[in-house]
Amino acid sequence: MKPAPFAWHPAGSVEEAVSVLSADEDAKLLAGGQSLLPLLSLRLARPTTLVDLEDAGLGVLEIADGDRAQPAASGDSRVLVAGAMVRQRRLELDPLVAATVPLLADAARHVGFPATRNRGTLGGSLAHADPVAELPAVAVALDATVVATGPRGERRLAASALADGFFATTLEPAEVLTAVRFPAAGPGHGAAWCEWSPRLHDFPDAGVGVAVELDGTGALRWVGAAACGIGGGPLPLGDELAATAAGATEATPGLLRAAAGAVTAAARGAGDGRDELCGLLAARALAQAFRRAQDRQVAS
Amino acid sequence: MSRPVRLTVNGAPASFDVEDRTTLLDALRDELGLTGTHAGCEQGACGACSVLLDGEIVRSCLLLAVQAGGRTVTTIEAVGSPGRLHPVQEALRRHHGLQCGYCTPGVVLTAIDLLERVADPDEEEVREALAGNLCRCTGYAGLVDAVLAAARDAGPGR
């Protein structure tokens, strides 16, 4: 028997999960379990209770009206609401995700293996906060909103305010991350996730996601970007890329070189040459995102 | 404290009493005697323990047995028989896709899962699908050849 003893508590609702967490500070949430089960088997985690969210009603995946002033990410004011228990495999394959948040679908393909993506969840990935995880960086790149429910009710926070260093988040001990609201892509949108991992589908050394939106004349009017694998949590890179790429109509070699330089500078301090790796990945992702945005404009 | 679990395994009802901390991998092997599901790394890295859960490939070491209650599990014991190998098993034999055989149950089920979704995969798709199944003997070339051959032999409209 590898894990230390615990009690499994299937929660029928978010409120039930919150109440179990409130009553027992050593209780932990079980989402997809693809990172938690290894920690249990290695006895690096020894919770008293595992509160299983499988039947807590967190599997929603739908388009909704946006609830902020025009999301910066998009000419479309709607959002894709993805419940915390939406499987990574569904993010990868569901046409709704590919159409409305293409960066999410592109990145999900790189998370673990098909066998782990069939179980692993969006919410689990964000709450686990592995510094090399793709999905938290996607949420930061797109300026997504995280929804959490705790003893005092529901609150919303920017994805960039969720990360709190290595494997840590700003969630309260009895809070449950319930959903992520991603700004939906507008007509001139294009996105790409690029990462480098020494072995196919293993944890990446670094990864960068870039999403761009072109205006009616084909000029870049918005860019969002973030990296994983650099420091303790997602590294936002939107400002660096906006400074170099705003108004551009083509991903020229000069633009890509400038973008790589700006991102390398932002990632400075990351060991083993990861800063330069990050710059290269950002240039590659920017070029792909640009091309996809142009293709999308031609098609529409 | 143990808890009763009822599920369907390889087409037949199955039940056992296990502690909550028991993985599906251990329950399959120790409670049901289905030792074809192999315990490798037991932390999700190697793929030897892969099974189908409601028809989808998963790692049985990364699932609690209690989480499989009411679900359908398919293990390697339900695939082919000594006298009548599954086309993936036959292709692995022909293309030297196994030596010690420890990873083979997971490889077979992973390949079946791929071919259920993609009838005619290219080499890159096969390599991507098998990336999570570690084999320390074959160097993978035989595994990839076998899965491509199994897809080819099944032909279009399989």
- What are the structural domains of chain B? 2-78 (3.10.20.30), 87-154 (1.10.150.120)
Compute the mean pLDDT over every residue in chain A, rounded to the nearest whole number. 94
Cβ–Cβ of A1/B53 closer than 8 Å?
no
Cβ A279 vs Cβ A237: under 8 Å:
no
Predicted confidence at residue A70, as pLDDT, reads 47
pLDDT, mean of residues A4-33:
98
| Residue pLDDT, tens place only, A158-188 | 999 999 999 999 999 999 999 999 999 988 9
Predicted confidence at residue A296, as pLDDT, reads 85
| Residue pLDDT, tens place only, A176-220 | 999 999 999 988 999 999 999 988 788 999 999 999 999 999 999
- Write the DSSP symbol of residue B29: I
Domain A7-52: top CATH class: alpha beta
Handedness of CA B69, B114, A193, A261 (dihedral sign): positive
| Residue pLDDT, tens place only, A129-161 | 999 999 999 999 999 999 999 999 999 999 999
Q: Hey, what CATH topology would domain A61-183 get?
A: 3.30.465
Cα atoms in the 13 Å half-sphere on the side-chain side of B155: 0
Residues 88-107 of A with CB under 8 A from B: 89
Among A8, A114, A201, the residue with its CB nearest the CB of B57 is A114
Take residue A295 and report the two structure tokens written for it: 């293709």
Q: Give the separation between CA A140 and CA A161, rounded to whole angstroms.
A: 9
pLDDT, mean of residues B42-56:
96
Predicted confidence at residue A72, as pLDDT, reads 55
pLDDT, mean of residues B118-130:
95
pLDDT, mean of residues A85-94:
98
pLDDT, mean of residues A31-59:
97
Predicted confidence at residue A233, as pLDDT, reads 94
Q: Find the closest chain B residue to A1 by CA distance.
A: B22
pLDDT greater than 80 at residue A76 = no
Q: Which residues, listed in sequence order, are joined to residue A169 by a DSSP beta bridge?
A: A163
Helices B141-154 and B87-94: crossing angle, nearest 10°? 130
- How far A117 CA sits from the closest chain B CA (Å)? 8
Q: Give the separation between CA A78 and CA B10, rounded to whole angstroms.
A: 44
Take residue A187 and report the two structure tokens written for it: 């007509």
Predicted confidence at residue B157, as pLDDT, reads 46
Predicted confidence at residue B155, as pLDDT, reads 65
Identify all chain A residues contacting B63, using CB atoms and an 8 Å cutoff: 33, 37, 119
Q: Hey, what CATH topology would domain A189-299 get?
A: Enolase-like; domain 1 (3.30.390)
Residues B41, B46, B48: CA angle, nearest 5 degrees: 90
Identify all chain A residues contacting B23, using CB atoms and an 8 Å cutoff: 2-3, 37, 41
Identify all chain B residues contacting A119, using CB atoms and an 8 Å cutoff: 58-59, 62-63
Q: Give the separation between CA B45 and CA B116, rounded to whole angstroms.
A: 23
Among A3, A38, A114, the residue with its CB nearest the CB of B44 is A38
pLDDT-derived band at A69 (thresholds 50, 70, 90) equals low
Predicted confidence at residue B10, as pLDDT, reads 98
Residue bearing the bigger pLDDT, A53 or A297:
A53
Identify from B3, B21, B73 which residue to disrupt to test chain A contact, counting A C-beta atoms within 10 A and taking the largest count.
B21
pLDDT, mean of residues B89-110:
97
Predicted confidence at residue A201, as pLDDT, reads 80
Q: Which residues, listed in sequence order, are joined to residue B77 by a DSSP beta bridge?
A: none
Identify all chain A residues contacting B116, using CB atoms and an 8 Å cutoff: none
Chain A to chain B Cβ contacts (< 8 Å): 88
Tokens 């009206």, located at residue? A65
Residues 190-219 of A with CB under 8 A from B: 199-201
Domain ranges of chain A: 7-52, 61-183, 189-299
Compute the mean pLDDT over every residue in chain B, rounded to the nearest whole number. 95
How far from A229 is each of A126, A169, A175, A206, CA to CA, in Å? 14, 16, 26, 4
Put the strands of the sheet holding B56-59 in their side by side order. Answer: B12-19, B2-9, B72-74, B50-53, B56-59
Tokens 């870039």, located at residue? A210
A8 touches chain B (CB under 8 A): yes
pLDDT-derived band at A74 (thresholds 50, 70, 90) equals low
Q: Give the separation between CA A121 and CA A231, rounded to whole angstroms.
A: 23
pLDDT, mean of residues B27-36:
98
Cβ A33 vs Cβ A39: under 8 Å:
no
- Max Cα–Cα distance, chain B, nearest Å: 51
Identify all chain A residues contacting B66, using CB atoms and an 8 Å cutoff: 8
| Residue pLDDT, tens place only, B55-85 | 999 999 999 999 999 999 999 999 999 899 9
Chain CA centroid to CA A174, Å: 22
Q: Find the closest chain B residue to A112 by CA distance.
A: B132
pLDDT, mean of residues A116-138:
97
Tokens 């502690």, located at residue? B19
Q: Give the separation between CA A111 and CA A204, rounded to whole angstroms.
A: 9
pLDDT-derived band at B1 (thresholds 50, 70, 90) equals confident
Spell out the SS3 assignment of A75-115. CCCEEEEEECCCEHHHHHHCHHHHHHCHHHHHHHCCCCCHH
Query: Percent of chain B scored above 70 by pLDDT?
Result: 97
Identify all chain B residues contacting A40, using CB atoms and an 8 Å cutoff: 21
pLDDT, mean of residues B79-94:
95
Non-local CB neighbours of A126 within 8 Å, separated by 6+ positions: A84, A135, A136, A139, A146, A159, A162, A169, A177, A180
pLDDT greater than 90 at residue A68 = no
Cβ A295 vs Cβ A190: under 8 Å:
yes
Handedness of CA A113, B116, A106, A117 (dihedral sign): negative
| Residue pLDDT, tens place only, A230-258 | 999 999 999 999 999 999 999 999 999 99
Among A1, A5, A33, the residue with its CB nearest the CB of B62 is A33
Tokens 């108004």, located at residue? A247
Q: Which one, of A81, A82, A154, lies nearest residue A122 by Cα?
A: A82
* Helix (DSSP H) and strand (DSSP E) numbers for chain B: 5, 5
| Residue pLDDT, tens place only, B138-157 | 989 999 999 999 999 876 54
